[in-house]
Amino acid sequence: MAVYVAWQMAARQTGEAALDFMAANFRVSLGAVLQGRVWTLLTSAISHVEPSHLFVNMLALYVFGRDVLLRIGRVGFVHLYVAGGIVASLGHLAWQVATDSRVAALGASGSVMAIAVVYAALFPRRILLVGFILPLPAALAVLGYIGLDIVGAIGGLGGGVAHAAHLGGAAYGFAYWLVGVRWRSAKAAQ
């Protein structure tokens, strides 16, 4: 929330210095990383400019995050969020290289996708109301969003959405579930 407020304050400042600072330090891009601003791999995952973007990400974090937090604990949850965000940023950088794009990205969506995948793996039959209307099992709903991101990334349906970042976060969430949850649970049961 503090980074969102900083973006809003920067937008109200006279001159470009404040906005330039925010853009340079809270959006991830290949150019930023190559210039040594590697922290943007993480800071972009806590950065939102638009209130609707922040609202949707925080709503999804609340829906998926509560039960995942209870299942994997605080340390695991913070790890999942942070690492999911970094891998999401790396996914965006890979997309930039593959498409020769210069578009920077920001937002918690990659971290939230990591958490959503773990939620869907832990509670695959729980019903979610997609778009507040369509009831679907969590596994199907999350797979549907992943499918939309695959189509968006391959088809170039950007529309201001960092589809490759979402996919990076989803991939990390799946890996975390396989190794951090499923494998450890199976090992503990032995």
Per the annotation, the verdict on 163 as an active-site residue is: no
Dihedrals phi, psi of 102, to nearest 5 degrees:
-115, 10
Which member of 29, 89, 109, 111 is catalytic?
Answer: 109
CA distances from 34 to 28, 41, 45 (A): 11, 12, 18
Q: How far is C-alpha 155 from the chain's CA centre?
A: 20
Q: Can you read off the two tokens belonging to residue 94?
A: 């890979």
Sign, CA dihedral 89-179-177-72, equals negative
Which member of 48, 92, 163, 166 is catalytic?
Answer: 166
Per the annotation, the verdict on 109 as an active-site residue is: yes
Fill in the amino acid letter for 178: L
Question: Which residues are designated catalytic?
Answer: 109, 166
